[in-house]
A and B are shown apart, each in its own frame.
Chain A
């Protein structure tokens, strides 16, 4: 029911994503036909050449799709962000079924017919066009059908590299833990797959029925697939804003995008669902996006592979210089630190007067603790924490899934947890953050990272981004995360309200 309501209220967006999805599948399937059918024909006619080709197509299909995007992103020409790399990946997946059925279709032809054609004086080209292709056509169409249906499924992954399509909803829904949004992507995708399957099955039957409407229908079929491409248009002077694929990042992406739109009047293109730090970083390096928000600690350890450093100023300086050598500029921090947070129930904190982790030490021996699997293992996780603060618990800490850990604390299953400093559930469950007064955790200050060339060309963009410096507190971020995650509000609307509120505060303060 909520799905129907969601689809109705997001009609225009659903339609746009559906069209994008069709465009991806149509373009890639058409290209795969253009490549796969000739290759299949060649493979069938020259088996010695054919075997390695089929083997290669087989291998391409065994590579997980997300890994394939990862391989291709940094490559010149084919790589980068958006529809191009997605279409290339989809082509690679569509090739195998098309090549395979083309080979099967041609080699399945009765040898008597080949002898008849040759014996009556057909040249090998005439044999190909008048006998082999028409007779292999039903089998080839079957391959196209399989390829298109696989394509609809694989194209949902394409949202991870900013190519759009119905996968946008699936990824957005997963990061919001909102099954309605996931279904809003998954259900239309499934319907699309079924429709295409039925349509192409019709074509297949038509061909197999004998009275073949000839190649003209095949070309009509191809045109049908390429048609959505014609609708593609590309604007020129745009700033491309990226983000990783979880709630906070998407909200921050909107924040940057709306600020740039408001202050500079430039058009902004959003790529707000990039599948992780690696992909976002590659996108920025290749110029597929111009700016996204990174966390200093993540840049330090994950991007530049530096040893753990806990001094916020030193980490910021280090990543600033390292980014600079790559032609990227680190803008002033937004103001919050999305670090690990040691949390207790708000009621306990108030009753016992707890403000820092040190304050909790005397009570710890009567408490149970719950930590994420990763936190229990990491050098900058529990082992160092208990040593630095001398924490001892009633029993050895419980390993828990991160998505359940806040609830477990609120429900009194445990008494102290390590969470995410800006998680929206902290305020939703009335939890309290204990300050890391000994600076044990590395800093994860949120900073916009932008392409230096773009900032030079559009100084207004630099000014717009700098205007956000120090304006987003951890409490602000928690509130926005909560609005999206717990209250299921639209991330763009949440960002818009926050910006409006900043403007009001600015007027009263300055």
Chain B
């Protein structure tokens, strides 16, 4: 479980990024945070794994404030998928995936077996990909390795920052489908950041909308779709346009 309690965050040049924000993410749910660029979505993720600390208020992970956590322990227990993936170019695919287990001092052979399971899980055949250099991967393959790496040490919490951002629409839809399957099996507590409402609707149990550093709405996709909040409607506009062209799904 993750809880934001009256969290404000500001940093010197940009000023106030988050304003007195409260939010609860219960165990096993996938919450998507949607908002325009600069609305503070990525900041929220970094507040969860302690890369940033709230200016005022508290972020609780498993009931304990991030200020009280041992940060290395906290981060090793949270999977993190970065916007630009951030695979290490000097390590092979399997070494990238086995990274967190190795930080947790798992036996090397155990880490490797685990890494191969994770590659299998994200649809990359270990016998083909394990030893490859990450430089030889396509964009979609890199994203899959990023997800495998985040899941390797079996964290209860997963943070995903635009994980499918830089992909072509076909690959993206494919990954969405596979990811829903994975989540159905693993039931992680997931916070996913995206600027794309369609992606949020496709994946999330709950969708939070961020505007001007505040939480404008927090609802299941079906309810949010009917919102007439002026801070939510612009984000729904592309979907409405699509529906108008191809007809309502029902």
Interface residues, chain A, with chain B CB atoms under 8 Å away: 110, 112-113, 115-123, 126, 131, 134-135, 210-212
The answer to whether B90 and A212 have CB atoms under 8 Å apart is yes
CB nearest to B75 among chain A residues:
A121
Task: From known contacts A115-B82, A121-B103, A135-B90, infer whether A210 and B76 are also in contact, taking CB-CB under 8 Å.
Answer: no
CB nearest to A131 among chain B residues:
B88
Total contacting residues, chain B, CB less than 8 A: 24
B135 at the interface (CB under 8 A from A): yes
CA–CA, A210 and B132, complex, Å:
11
CB contact list, B193-246 vs A, under 8 A = none
CB contact list, B3-58 vs A, under 8 A = 46, 49, 51
> 14 more A-B contacts (CB under 8 A) besides A116-B86, A121-B72?
A112-B83, A113-B86, A113-B89, A115-B51, A116-B87, A119-B51, A119-B80, A120-B76, A120-B100, A123-B72, A131-B88, A134-B90, A210-B133, A211-B133
The answer to whether B90 and A210 have CB atoms under 8 Å apart is yes
The answer to whether B103 and A122 have CB atoms under 8 Å apart is yes
CA–CA, A410 and B186, complex, Å:
102
CA–CA, A120 and B101, complex, Å:
10
The answer to whether A210 and B89 have CB atoms under 8 Å apart is yes
Q: A122 to chain B: which residues have CB within 8 Å? A: 72, 103
Q: A115 to chain B: which residues have CB within 8 Å? A: 51, 82, 86
Q: B149 to chain A: which residues have CB within 8 Å? A: 120
Task: From known contacts A118-B51, A120-B100, infer whether A113 and B72 are also in contact, taking CB-CB under 8 Å.
Answer: no
CB nearest to B87 among chain A residues:
A116
B84 at the interface (CB under 8 A from A): yes
B115 at the interface (CB under 8 A from A): no
CA–CA, A116 and B159, complex, Å:
12
The answer to whether B90 and A119 have CB atoms under 8 Å apart is no
Interface residues, chain B, with chain A CB atoms under 8 Å away: 46, 49, 51, 72-76, 80, 82-90, 99-100, 103, 133, 135, 149
Q: A121 to chain B: which residues have CB within 8 Å? A: 72-76, 100, 103
Q: B86 to chain A: which residues have CB within 8 Å? A: 110, 112-113, 115-116
| Distance from A207 Cβ to chain B, minimum over Cβ atoms (Å) | 9
CB nearest to B146 among chain A residues:
A116
CA–CA, A14 and B84, complex, Å:
57
Q: B51 to chain A: which residues have CB within 8 Å? A: 115, 118-119
The answer to whether B75 and A112 have CB atoms under 8 Å apart is no
CA–CA, A110 and B134, complex, Å:
15
CA–CA, A210 and B131, complex, Å:
13
CA–CA, A380 and B218, complex, Å:
100
CA–CA, A131 and B149, complex, Å:
16
Task: From known contacts A116-B88, A120-B75, A212-B90, infer whether A126 and B103 are also in contact, taking CB-CB under 8 Å.
Answer: yes
Task: From known contacts A126-B103, A210-B133, A211-B133, infer whether A120 and B90 are also in contact, taking CB-CB under 8 Å.
Answer: no
Q: Which of B88, B100, B149 has the most CB of A within 10 A?
A: B88
| Distance from A105 Cβ to chain B, minimum over Cβ atoms (Å) | 12
Q: Which of B84, B90, B100, B133 has the most CB of A within 10 A?
A: B90
Q: Which of A115, A118, A120 has the most CB of B within 10 A?
A: A120
Which 7 pairs from chain A and chain B are nearest by CB? A116-B86, A121-B76, A121-B75, A119-B80, A112-B86, A112-B84, A134-B90
CA–CA, A118 and B49, complex, Å:
10
| Distance from B41 Cβ to chain A, minimum over Cβ atoms (Å) | 15
The answer to whether B90 and A116 have CB atoms under 8 Å apart is no
CA–CA, A131 and B75, complex, Å:
17
Q: A126 to chain B: which residues have CB within 8 Å? A: 103
Task: From known contacts A210-B135, A211-B133, infer whether A120 and B88 are also in contact, taking CB-CB under 8 Å.
Answer: no
CB nearest to A210 among chain B residues:
B133
Task: From known contacts A121-B103, A210-B135, infer whether A116 and B82 are also in contact, taking CB-CB under 8 Å.
Answer: yes
The answer to whether B82 and A119 have CB atoms under 8 Å apart is yes
Q: A120 to chain B: which residues have CB within 8 Å? A: 75-76, 80, 99-100, 103, 149
| Distance from A128 Cβ to chain B, minimum over Cβ atoms (Å) | 14
CA–CA, A119 and B76, complex, Å:
8
| Distance from A271 Cβ to chain B, minimum over Cβ atoms (Å) | 48
Write 23 A-B pairs (CB below 8 A) sorted by A numbering.
Answer: A112-B82, A112-B85, A113-B86, A113-B88, A113-B89, A116-B86, A116-B88, A118-B75, A119-B51, A120-B76, A120-B100, A121-B72, A121-B74, A121-B76, A121-B100, A122-B72, A122-B103, A123-B72, A126-B103, A134-B90, A135-B88, A210-B89, A211-B133
